[in-house]
Structure formats: structure tokens, C-alpha cells
């Protein structure tokens, strides 16, 4: 199952795959139900989201996820045996790399199950940390050498899809992250 969430990560020009799977011990050892929760970064195609555009003489250092904790399947939903569910979410990240808002489409009118999944997502992403988006303003000196004049750390957004699933067995949580590759960051 985790194979379908593997993403290519580029580090120093070398491609590599990054994945993490770990077992979560159930609070009740007699439980025979497995709760699976994972996430993957989602590419946003155009529509409706403002993006930072770099001006001449500007460069950007892309934000990278440094700490990501997978959400736990809500214990109160395990007895309901709900079908697998994918929940898209927009994470708003401040200039220091902390998630300060989570936006889930349809959350305002969500059923109790979706509200429980969103609460699990919020609990997990409150622990996430990103390197900041850094926009550098460059200038050339008299010799034509470029150097950084100043820089800013604006807020940005990342889009993820969180996957929740039940299977018989022991609770397991899987997670995968992918590095951003474009030079624009999405504004919250």
C-alpha cells in the first residue's frame, strides 16, 4: 500500500525516495482493528490560488518539510468501519515554518466523521515544521558580482492529501513527503 505514496525527492541534484512507516501500539491491546493514516503532498494546478512571482534580481529558497508527523486514525471511528477516505487540506505556514492554519474544503458543513478526521489532521500538523520560504533580493557590485542585499520570509501554503483507512490487525501509520521543485510558493 505504501508504494503508491512514494515520491521523488531531489537533494543536491540527486534523486532519492523518502518514506516512513511505523507501528502505533493500540491503547487497548485486545483491539484487532488497524487504523491507517498517511499523507502526500498535492500539486496544485492553477485555479484560484495566488502565487509569489519573483521580480528581476530576486531568487527564492524553497521551503522543505523538516518534521512531519502522520495523523492518528480517530479511535472513536474505528468501531464504525468506515470506508477509506482521502481528505485534501491546505496548510498555511508562517515565515518561521510553523503551520498556523489548516483549510479543509467542506469543513463548515462536515459530518461528525469528517470533523474527527480534520481534528486528527490538525493535531498532527501542529507538530510539523518547514524550513522557511526565503526570497532574496540580489544586487551586483561594481565588479559585476551578485550578492544578497536583503531577504524576506513570507508565509506560504502547501497542499496535502491525508488518507485514512481501516484494516484488520494492529494500528499502523505510514507517511511520505516530497520536496517542492518549483520557484514559486503558494500564498495563504
- Sorted by where each begins, the domain ranges of the chain are 2-175
Which pLDDT band, with edges at 50, 70 and 90, does 39 fall under? Answer: low
d(CA 74, CA 70): 12
Report residue 84 CA to chain centroid gap. Answer: 19
> Which of the pair, 179 or 107, is modelled with greater confidence?
107
Could you tell me what percent of the chain has a pLDDT over 90? Answer: 35
Query: pLDDT tens for residues 124-181?
Result: 999 999 999 999 998 888 898 888 999 999 999 999 999 888 887 344 444 433 333 2
Band of pLDDT at residue 186, cut at 50, 70 and 90 = very low
pLDDT of residue 99: 96
Q: Given a cut of 90, is residue 5 above it in pLDDT?
A: no
Residues 2-175, CATH architecture? 2-Layer Sandwich (3.30)
- Per-chain mean pLDDT for the chain: 72
Using the structure block, give the residue that is written with the C-alpha cell 506560504.
Answer: 156
Chain-centroid distance of CA 27 in Å reads 27
Residues 6 or more apart from 11 whose CB is under 8 A from it?
Answer: 179
Amino acid at each position: 500500500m505504501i508504494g503508491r505514496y512514494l515520491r521523488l525527492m531531489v537533494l543536491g541534484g540527486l534523486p532519492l525516495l523518502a518514506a516512513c512507516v511505523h507501528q502505533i501500539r493500540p491503547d487497548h491491546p485486545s483491539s484487532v482493528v488497524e487504523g491507517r493514516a498517511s499523507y502526500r503532498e498535492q500539486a496544485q494546478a492553477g485555479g484560484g490560488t495566488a502565487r509569489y512571482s519573483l521580480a528581476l534580481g530576486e531568487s527564492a529558497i524553497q521551503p522543505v518539510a523538516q518534521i512531519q508527523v502522520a495523523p492518528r486514525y480517530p479511535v472513536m471511528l474505528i468501531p464504525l468501519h468506515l470506508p477509506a477516505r482521502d481528505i485534501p487540506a491546505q496548510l498555511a505556514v508562517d515565515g518561521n515554518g510553523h503551520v498556523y492554519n489548516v483549510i479543509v474544503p467542506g469543513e463548515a458543513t462536515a459530518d461528525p466523521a469528517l470533523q474527527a478526521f480534520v481534528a486528527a489532521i490538525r493535531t498532527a500538523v501542529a507538530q510539523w515544521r518547514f524550513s522557511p520560504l526565503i526570497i532574496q533580493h540580489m544586487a551586483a557590485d561594481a565588479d559585476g558580482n551578485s550578492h544578497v542585499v536583503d531577504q524576506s520570509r513570507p508565509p506560504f501554503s502547501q497542499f496535502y492529501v491525508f488518507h485514512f483507512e481501516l484494516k484488520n490487525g494492529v494500528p499502523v501509520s505510514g507517511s511520505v513527503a516530497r520536496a517542492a521543485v518549483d520557484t514559486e510558493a503558494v500564498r495563504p
